[in-house]
Structure 1
Amino acid sequence: MDIAKLTIKEITTHIENSDAERRKELIEILKMDTRSAVQNLLIKLSKKEDRDRKEIERLEIMKSFEYQYIKRGARYIAGIDEVGRGPLAGPVYASAVILPIECVIKGINDSKKLSPQKRSLLYEEIKEKAVCYSTGYCDEKTIDEVNILKATFKAMKQAVEGLSIKPDVLLIDAVKIPDVDIFQVPIIKGDAKSFSIAAASIVAKVERDTVMDKYHELFPHYNFISNKGYGTQDHIDAIKKHGPCNIHRRSFIGSFV
């Protein structure tokens, strides 16, 4: 292949379709190409490689808890996180995710720091690369009956029990789950510190948001597609105007109705 005869578009495509070793070889060849467009492409590639390197370093730091317990003999480590403790309406969700330690998912982070579009893309990648994952939930009626903390624990327990492989260690955002006989490690702000917990936060967030979008079609007055059940001013105003709907948590909205 004569690089000098290729267009910039063809060169870019060829590099993107090459493995890491071949990519390095091509970059060395391109350094001898005097075309300004090629040199600009090399600058862009260099910046991208730098970003990728920094991202891999960030992910390795996020795996520090996982590495700690793998060194102690753990094989399967599950990250657990919940979403939906604070809203005035809808269920609370919790997800459990086991990922291979060598797994690379660029961009993974606390779900709250990600755009809906980025969360959706990562959600699909997590499902594809996970050893296994599971989600549990408790609806608004259960939340009202037992309180939100107990409902959250129940959803978390469902998620753990739904895993097709029993984990050796549970890394959990901030809490320990009662009545679960697996070694548990609560991590404050774990969704930003642990690779596995961050993955669980994304799965739980995307799946709950999908449910709330469907509820918006049934109860459009409350704008669930935007607020996801949280207590935004437009949501509170809608409750005052229209009263609660079937999925509102009565124990949360007493001061509004």
Structure 2
Amino acid sequence: MNKKERELFQRQRLEEMKQFEKEICGEEAACIAGVDEAGRGPLAGPVVAAAVVLPRDFDVPGIDDSKKLTEKRREAMYPIIKETALAWGIGIVDHEKIDEINILQAAREAMRQAVSEASRKLAAKGMKLDHILFDAMTIEDISIPQTNVIKGDSKSLSIAAASILAKVTRDRMMVEFAAQYPGYGFEKNKGYGTKAHYEGLRTRGVCPIHRKTFLKNL
């Protein structure tokens, strides 16, 4: 599509995702946190979650499920989201904790951290969370009203924004790890099980940030 068609599409997506949140949370919910994670599937590195609370009048087209965006687009949207959000939070659970409690519980813990940080930032402004939208997840020990949204990163604007923050944060961490632990291709595969990654495991063995519970069959 040409530039004009792309801009029209992005504007339509923005309005669709904003409308979805209004229908789920109601018009009275002023502070809605979208929460998503990145890194449940890789063989190495942390799982990272983000929580994002956007203002109701947010009007910047271009946010979508991070998996649908190019790396360049994610990097461009990353500072915009941080600068325009009412609040945001990041949660990180490392490979050791993942091995200890399993990846599902680690993802939930990262989400709790992210929600907690976003809540603190809102409180500092005299505001509080009205509703949380989780991408395909439920966290029982959070008392704030919440909704589990299947494929939420492609339906909810706030979850999509959170998916971008989580993805970019984790990708940057994996690029840094690539310099510390060369030979696995972390700068490209971000810890996922690519051919280059498996070749690195075969020739170099397990490095300090590998998830050992993910490598039992190797």
Q: What TM-score, normalized to structure 1?
A: 0.78
Counterpart code for 1:241: T
- Decide whether aligned partners of structure 1 residues 242 and 184 sit closer, same or farther in structure 2, where only a CA change above 3 A counts: same
What is the aligned-residue RMSD (CA, Å)?
A: 1.5
Measure, in 2, the Cα distance between the counterparts of 1:57 and 1:112.
19
Contact 1:153–1:178 (Cα < 8 Å) also in 2:
no
Contact 1:170–1:182 (Cα < 8 Å) also in 2:
yes
SS at structure 1 position matched to 2:91 = strand
Measure, in 2, the Cα distance between the counterparts of 1:123 and 1:213.
17
Count residues in correspondence. Answer: 210
**Does residue 201 of structure 2 align to residue 239 of structure 1?**
yes
Contact 2:25–2:131 (Cα < 8 Å) also in 1:
no
SS at structure 2 position matched to 1:220 = coil
Contact 1:80–1:172 (Cα < 8 Å) also in 2:
yes
**Does residue 107 of structure 2 align to residue 145 of structure 1?**
no
**Does residue 179 of structure 2 align to residue 217 of structure 1?**
yes
Counterpart code for 1:147: N
Q: What TM-score, normalized to structure 2?
A: 0.92
SS at structure 1 position matched to 2:174 = helix
Partner of 1:248: 210
Contact 1:85–1:92 (Cα < 8 Å) also in 2:
yes
**Does residue 39 of structure 2 align to residue 77 of structure 1?**
no
**Does residue 148 of structure 2 align to residue 186 of structure 1?**
yes
Partner of 1:12: none
Sequence identity, in percent? 48
Measure, in 1, the Cα distance between the counterparts of 2:204 and 2:68.
32
Q: Deviations over 1:57-103 (max 9, x none)?
A: 22111112321255352110000000000000000000000001211
Measure, in 1, the Cα distance between the counterparts of 2:217 and 2:7.
49
What is the CA-CA distance between 1:55 and the residue it aligns to?
2.7
**Does residue 79 of structure 2 align to residue 124 of structure 1?**
yes
Residue of structure 2 aligned with 1:155, choices 87, 110, 125: 110
Measure, in 1, the Cα distance between the counterparts of 2:140 and 2:104.
11
Structure number with higher relative contact order (C-alpha < 8 Å, ≥ 6 residues apart): 2
Residue of structure 2 aligned with 1:135, choices 90, 94, 103: 90
SS at structure 1 position matched to 2:183 = helix
Measure, in 2, the Cα distance between the counterparts of 1:244 and 1:123.
32
Measure, in 1, the Cα distance between the counterparts of 2:73 and 2:143.
35
Deviates more, 1:91-100 or 1:106-115: 106-115
Structure index of larger Rg: 1
SS at structure 2 position matched to 1:222 = coil
Gaps in structure 2 of 5+ consecutive residues: 123-127
- Decide whether aligned partners of structure 1 residues 248 and 173 sit closer, same or farther in structure 2, where only a CA change above 3 A counts: same
